[in-house]
């Protein structure tokens, strides 16, 4: 009986990473805006010298399945999106220890989901209502 009870007590911790990864359901005090934004600023400062003006930005797209994703996008310029994305990924790897995924192509731009990379959820409603806090590389 004790073995079963101790096993059951572990279940919440086993599923905690899955719950924490659901950034789109994290609202208000559950979302760590300050840490997430600090990491975003740190990444943008690190990478700001890698791109020409207007080539890279942080923005928001609507994902049909999951809601809003915040991402870093390397815009295409002279067919160099792939190379630029590799530079960006290397910079993010150095800057963010929680970085464990690369990017994906969306409409032929290279995107990195910021909330996935930094491992911190930022409430989309909060970020939308505080646009001045979003760093930009452009």
Q: Give how many domains the chain has, as a whole number.
A: 1
Report which of residues 88 and 115 the model is more confident about.
88
Q: Which of 61-65, 99-103, 115-119, 122-126 shows the lowest mean pLDDT across its residues?
A: 61-65
Q: Is 38 domain-assigned?
A: yes
**What is the per-residue pLDDT across 29-41, written as a single tens digit (0 to 9) for each?**
444 555 555 655 6
Domain that holds residue 111: 22-133
Which ranges of 48-103 does DSSP label H, i.e. alpha helix? 81-95
User: Is the pLDDT confidence value at 13 over 50?
Assistant: no
Strand partners, 106: 109
Q: Find all residues with CB under 8 Å of 90, minimum gap 6, and list them.
A: none
Q: Is 94 domain-assigned?
A: yes
Q: Is 75 domain-assigned?
A: yes
pLDDT at 2: 46
Q: Is 9 domain-assigned?
A: no
Structure tokens at 116: 């996935």
Q: Is 40 domain-assigned?
A: yes
pLDDT at 120: 45
Q: Is 4 domain-assigned?
A: no
């Amino acid at each position: 009986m004790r073995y079963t009870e101790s096993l059951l007590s572990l279940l919440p911790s086993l599923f905690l990473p899955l719950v924490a990864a659901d950034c789109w359901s994290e609202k208000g005090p559950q979302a760590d805006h300050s840490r997430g934004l600090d990491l975003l600023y740190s990444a943008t400062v690190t990478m700001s010298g890698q791109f020409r003006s207007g080539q890279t930005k942080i923005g928001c797209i609507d994902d049909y399945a999951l809601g809003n994703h915040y991402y870093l996008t390397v815009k295409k310029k002279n067919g160099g999106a792939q190379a630029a994305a590799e530079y960006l990924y290397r910079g993010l790897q150095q800057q963010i220890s929680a970085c464990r995924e690369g990017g994906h192509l969306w409409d032929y731009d290279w995107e990195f989901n910021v909330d996935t990379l930094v491992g911190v959820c930022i409430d989309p409603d909060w970020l939308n209502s505080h646009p001045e806090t979003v760093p930009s590389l452009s």
